[in-house]
Amino acid sequence: MKILILLSIFLPFYLSAQSPEEIPPVSPSFKQKKDKRKTIEEKKLELVRFDKIKKVLEEDQLLEEADKKVKKVTESGRKRISWNKKRYNIPDEQDFWDFMSELWLVKRANQLQWDFEKPDYGLDLAFKKFLEKMGYYEVSFKILVSNSPRLFHIGLPSKKSLIFVLSLPFLRTMDLSKTEICLLLFEDFKRIEAGFFLSKIRGPKLKKTLGSNFYKKSFDKKIIDQLLVRYDEVVFNKGFNFQEQFGVTQQMDLLLKNDLNTWSKYYNLLQKIDDLVKNNALFKDYNKVYPSPELQMNWLKPKSKNI
């Protein structure tokens, strides 16, 4: 008797403490679980069988009203199911890449050392002006300064707002001016635009997954983990190939030639990087990621014609 009283007191508390989804069903069948998510109106409709009282409704001229009610409840049920299904949506390309790049930055915060106290370098204003000077308007960007020499400079995959990471030791060793930093960022912007980084990490499986839905299915978290590793590979090891570098250098040449002062600054910047890579062991891996400043300078040099 004592146990029964105790049970009757504590059982309701135990059950109410659980979320509706966690409440164990009376029967393990899925149908009953699904019933719990139904609205009161839907449950009422199940109790009132309009087809069995059709004759009475016809006599009272309420058939139209009953039809309306059934339609309304069916519609609300359909909306509820579709709303619940939408909650299992996987972001499409437009929403995914900005989020993924930030996730990578968050997960690699210790390696990249970007969370440190630093002054405001005014890079946001300088790059904004640079973009406007180059004729690129309505371009949103985020610049993150890292305190690690492991990474040099990179534009991460993004669709809504460009995400750049710059290494402070890399910039400081070369004593770069704001214009030179803007040129580095602009080069990275061109790489993002061309989709070089994306093409290296976006496998067919991921392409299929993005924009899909995993309602009543399990989500394969491995896709995200693998993607983080692929980010590492591109940023720290593989980087970009000669063909991609040639393409970017050609574009930079084309865009900067209108302003010879900026063009010569770009050339000097490549010279500075080349000197750094050749003389400083800390940055020797730069050529692995961006091959190579020396070649880029050769591509930029005007071709002499032999007469």
Can you give the binding site for another protein, defined by CB under 8 A? Answer: 87-91, 95, 99, 102-103, 105-107, 109, 114-115, 117, 120-121, 123-125, 127-128, 131-132, 136-145, 161, 214, 219, 221, 224
> Given the complex with another protein, which of 41 and 124 has the nearer CB atom?
124
> Given the complex with another protein, which of 71 and 160 has the nearer CB atom?
160
CA–CA separation, 238 and 252 (whole Å): 22
Least Å distance between CB 140 and another protein?
Answer: 5
CA proximity to 246, closest of 169, 178, 194, 304: 194
Least Å distance between CB 131 and another protein?
Answer: 4
> Given the complex with another protein, which of 21 and 64 has the nearer CB atom?
21
Least Å distance between CB 268 and another protein?
Answer: 24
Q: Is 152 helix (H, G, I), strand (E, B) or coil?
A: coil
Least Å distance between CB 116 and another protein?
Answer: 8
CA distances (Å), origin 63, targets 75, 77, 151, 204: 18, 21, 73, 54
Name every residue whose Cβ is closer than 8 Å to that of residue 290 and which is 6 or more positions away in sequence. 152, 239, 240, 245
The structure tokens listed for 29 are 């069948």
Q: How many residues does the chain have?
A: 307
CA–CA separation, 108 and 102 (whole Å): 10
> Given the complex with another protein, which of 70 and 224 has the nearer CB atom?
224
Single-letter amino acid code for the residue at 84: N
CA–CA separation, 139 and 145 (whole Å): 19
> Given the complex with another protein, which of 65 and 220 has the nearer CB atom?
220
Least Å distance between CB 251 and another protein?
Answer: 18
